[in-house]
Copies of this chain bind each other. A is one copy, B any other.
């Protein structure tokens, strides 16, 4: 199970958006949200490479990086982890928490409803 840190996840998001990309491409996208030096991004790319979360193909004098770890796999891990740790493995309490805390908007409720209907249909 490849596990990635918060900062690394930021980089993965960029590659999940589009792969492959060069360091520069990635830096450009990240500049919108993070205030990182290029060096920092290089470090993160290297750590991700070392743990096999991304791959690199040489392209002239630079590399083209691609996501290897799937976003869906990461989602699954993160979600299951939280739900297990915090909500005893069940989803409803989390939703309940949000409904109480944070106001689900109309669209959220609609999606949930649709989902439930689908689930009941089997």
Residues of A at the B interface (CB closer than 8 Å) are: 6, 9, 74-76, 78-80, 82-83, 85-87, 90-92, 94-99, 101-104, 107-109, 111-113, 115-116, 118-120
Contact = CB atoms under 8 A, between A and B. Distances in A.
The complex is assembled from copies of this chain, and their number is 2
Given A76-B97, A97-B76, A99-B119, A108 B92 contact: yes
Given A103-B91, A109-B119, A82 B79 contact: yes
A112 B86 contact: no
Nearest to A101: B76
22 contacts: A9-B85, A75-B87, A76-B97, A76-B101, A78-B82, A79-B86, A79-B94, A80-B102, A83-B98, A91-B94, A91-B95, A91-B98, A92-B108, A92-B115, A94-B94, A95-B115, A96-B115, A99-B115, A104-B119, A109-B116, A109-B119, A112-B116
